[in-house]
Amino acid sequence: MERLRSSPLHANISTALDKHLEAIHAVQARRKDEIVSASGRQRHGPPRCQDERVVLALAAALRALCLATRKVRTVLWCAFQMTLPK
């Protein structure tokens, strides 16, 4: 989009994209933790309190990803509108 405009876009656009990428990485890390926790639970019997914390951490990461996705969609729509010819 910057090439189409021949000028740089607003700094908030790249910030929102960076935060979205961070949220994706956080969800991936929490999901790995959940998988490791679930595989350990199958070997060692009943679930533990720590397993709940792992699932809650994943839920919090998914919520953050949802909010970041909404924001980045809006930011990208605005950037697209700025690149359209007048």
Q: What count of residues does the chain have?
A: 86
Name the token pair of 67. 């909010």
CB 61 within 8 A of CB 27: yes
The confidence score (pLDDT) of residue 7 equals 73
Whole-number Å distance between alpha carbons of 20 and 39:
29
* pLDDT tens readout for residues 20-71: 999 999 999 999 998 888 877 655 556 555 678 898 999 999 999 999 999 9
The confidence score (pLDDT) of residue 37 equals 84
pLDDT for residue 86 is more than 70: yes
**Residues contacting residue 72 through CB under 8 Å, at least 6 positions apart:** 16, 17, 19, 20
Residue 3: pLDDT band with limits 50, 70, 90? low
Whole-number Å distance between alpha carbons of 80 and 75:
9
